[in-house]
Amino acid sequence: MKMTYATLKSEPDKPVETRLWQAVVLSTIQEWISGPLRYKREAEKYLFQDPKDFPLVCQQAGLDVDRLRAQLTRLRAQVAPLGHADPLGISR
What is the pTM for the complete model shown? 0.74
CA distance linking residue 65 with residue 12, whole number of Å = 23
pLDDT tens for each residue of the chain, 92 residues long: 455 555 545 566 779 999 999 999 999 999 999 999 999 999 999 999 999 999 999 999 999 999 999 999 999 988 765 444 455 555 55
Query: Domain limits of the chain?
Result: 18-78
Check residue 86 and give its pLDDT.
57
